[in-house]
Amino acid sequence: MLNFVSEPAMDGYDYIIIGSGSAGSTLAGRLAEKTSLRILLIEAGGSDINLGIIMPGAMGLPLLSNRTNWKLFSDDQPEGIYEPRGRALGGSSSVNGMNWMRGNAQDYDHWSELGVSGWRYQDVLPFFRKAESFEDGASFWRGGTGPISVERSPCENTLFESFLAAGQQAGYAFNPDQNGEKQEGMHRIQRNIGKGRRMNASYAYLRQKSMKNLDIMLHTRVTRLVFSGKTCVAVEATRRGNQYRVPVGREVILSAGALMSPQLLMLSGVGDADELRKQGIKSVVHLPEVGRGLSDHTALVVDWDVINERNSMARELALHRRPMIGAKWLLSRRGLGSSNLFEAGAMLSTDGSGRPDIQLECVAFRPYFGHDAIRVSPGYHCSLSLQRPTSTGRVWLRSADPMASPAFQFNYLTTEYDQKLAVTAIKTVREVMGQSAMASRLRGEAGDIASARSDAEILAWAKATAESNYHPSCTLRMGKVTDSEGRVMGIERVRVVDASIFPAIPSANLNAPVIMLAEKIASDMLQKVG
């Protein structure tokens, strides 16, 4: 039973956690295991008891609603890039695609090369294992008793089977566990779904146990951190027209994500002093790297028309069939309602190093998941993303109004490395799809990509169509803004725990790495509390 409160305890809390996403829910659940601590978890959105959140196959529904999705847009030209962010208990773990990927061991070893201690793969593996209950059970690589159930997708659709076979024909081995000893190869996507329901962080870490020392405030927006000198002493928040100033005893922990955590720091006077002055904000500490280094997995979306449209899942997902899908899920937690739909994928190394630099995530239809509509058409679809892009952007203040959206820009495909990798990625996926196992089922590529043949044409198409893979990170990097435990440099009692503190983006969807991050930092914090 969760302890939802409409007002905070005015004598304050030991820890105030801002944001209830993958990091915030994990932190709150773990810290609350120390019953002597008083904790407040603040979430701007509402409840996660929502059919579109709980039912995996309905994942497009919460993305359509302003109540569960911030629906942010970047300042990249000409129209901005759509960036959905979760606005509910569980944050983006309540609206994401549920692809459970840890990243490559070399990703975390690289963090130590950047000067961040304690984050080598051997250091983080125990916390990946601690978080999960994998369907094969516990092993050296995998966890078997953690709060998050992880299962493999069935990949029973003919197009999925053909795709996995085509990848092997192209020379990419099938990998039975991409979160195990090695990452490279064709695979059945692993997903954080258990007994037919989404395993969002709030369900896994908060709803499965009783924590009387944890208060949760929904529909509450933190507007500023309050400092006495360089020590944070309280947070200011607003809820349904009421203003609150909540004292903090030990720490305020920002877990609002790579776009909103830096925004809140800047609103509170932590950032580039010259830029803050332009907004009329008094500087508490000059940290010019706040908001810099924004990284994301640049996504290139490729669709194919299929020869036999009955092979596509679009027929099963037709509008008139959706009530039956929902009814079957409600009765048995089975069928398409229990699937995240992205079932087949691959992690491929285009340079032969064995460390994948592109990811494929595929559905057996042609989807449109926009901020305004959901559409399903016959075909086959791959979201192809660059795993370690070198193009970076930034986050800044649009205004000093705490209710305004953060301004941000990705700057996709602005480096030579990224441009070459984008072209190579398209050629690689064409090689896979051109193998007999898949080519026999396809009519050809759909859309403008079909006419792009030369490297210059492919790059021009990529620049015009590049999308976000919804993995913003690295805006408050460890070693630049925060230390190796997430504490903000130059001030006291403020810590950040979310994807913003990654020193470099991992080769993975970010839900699992962020939960690992929160598990590890929570463990370190509890050891010091005693």
Q: What is the pLDDT along the chain (530 residues), one digit of tens a residue?
A: 899 999 999 999 999 999 999 999 999 999 999 999 999 999 999 999 999 999 999 999 999 999 999 999 999 999 999 999 999 999 999 999 999 999 999 999 999 999 999 999 999 999 999 999 999 999 999 999 999 999 999 999 999 999 999 999 999 999 999 999 999 999 999 999 999 999 999 999 999 988 999 999 999 999 999 999 999 999 999 999 999 999 999 999 999 999 999 999 999 999 999 999 999 999 999 999 999 999 999 999 999 999 999 999 998 998 899 999 999 999 999 999 999 999 999 999 999 899 999 999 999 999 988 888 889 999 999 999 999 999 999 999 999 999 999 999 999 999 999 999 999 999 999 999 999 999 999 999 999 999 999 999 999 999 999 999 999 999 999 999 999 999 999 999 999 999 999 999 999 999 999 999 999 999 999 999 86
CA triplet 265, 216, 213: central angle to 5 degrees?
110
Class of domain 1-104+197-296+395-411+472-530: alpha beta
Furthest-apart CA atoms within the chain: distance in Å = 69
Return the C-alpha torsion angle 183, 189, 194, 199, nearest 10.
80
Q: Does residue 94 contact residue 53 with C-beta atoms inside 8 Å?
A: yes
Environment class of residue 109 by beta-carbon count within 10 Å: exposed (0-12), middle (13-18) or buried (19+)? middle
Give the helix, strand, coil percentages of the chain, each rounded to 5: 30, 25, 45
On the CB side of 61, CA atoms within 13 Å amount to 14
Q: Does residue 339 contact residue 413 with C-beta atoms inside 8 Å?
A: no
CA distance 500 to 111: 14
Environment class of residue 228 by beta-carbon count within 10 Å: exposed (0-12), middle (13-18) or buried (19+)? exposed
436 to each of 163, 167, 169, 379, 442, how far by Cα in Å? Answer: 10, 10, 8, 17, 10
Q: Is 17 helix (H, G, I), strand (E, B) or coil?
A: strand
Other Cβ atoms within 10 Å of 116 Cβ, number:
22
On the CB side of 319, CA atoms within 13 Å amount to 2
CA triplet 125, 186, 506: central angle to 5 degrees?
40
Q: Is 448 helix (H, G, I), strand (E, B) or coil?
A: helix
Class of domain 154-188+298-386+413-465: alpha beta
CA distance 428 to 186: 13
For the chain, the domains span: 1-104+197-296+395-411+472-530, 154-188+298-386+413-465
User: So which residues are the catalytic ones?
Assistant: 471
* Predicted TM-score (pTM) of this structure: 0.98
* Amino acid type, 215: D
CA distance 131 to 142: 10
CA distance 465 to 31: 43
- Sort strands 231-239 and 242-254 into parallel, antiparallel or unpaired: antiparallel
